[in-house]
Amino acid sequence: MEFDLIMIGKRIKEARNNKNLTQAQLAELIDVSTSYLGMMERALGHVSLENIIKISNVLGMPIAFFVQDSIAQPNESDIDKQINNELSMLTDIQKGYILQSIKTFRLFCKNLVNGILK
């Protein structure tokens, strides 16, 4: 199984930026050099499971956040990937609001098609 190191690196950088940490600060917290962390973020170096776990713990993100898009999903459309990517960054409460919005939108579309709405 191959991992998309570019996607993992993007996720590391995204999570680090969301926590308002510099590369130097995160590197110190996970006990690696700043240049090595930079290489991980740019997919120029190997990212070990140990480092993913450290980053996950420090940034308070699940490990899946960093690797979910790096494993090929059979038959998953680009739009599904984008939706899953966005959903992965939301809290459960926020996901509940999105779910309710989707249900409301589906009902609206059904009523529109059935001529109830004009």
Specify whether the CB–CB gap between 53 and 31 falls below 8 A. no
Percent of the chain at pLDDT exceeding 70: 88
Amino acid 5: pLDDT: 86
Distance CA 50, CA 32 (A): 11
Domain boundaries, the chain: 5-70, 78-113
Model pLDDT for residues 27-37, shown as the tens digit of each residue: 999 999 999 99
CATH of 5-70 among 2.60.40.10, 1.10.260.40, 3.40.50.720, 1.10.730.10: 1.10.260.40
Q: CB burial class (10 A; 0-12, 13-18, 19+) of residue 65?
A: buried
Whole-angstrom distance between the N-terminal and C-terminal Cα of the chain? Answer: 52
Model pLDDT for residues 45-70, shown as the tens digit of each residue: 788 889 999 999 999 999 888 888 66
Residue 97 or 118, more confident: 97
Amino acid 102: pLDDT: 92
Distance CA 51, CA 32 (A): 9
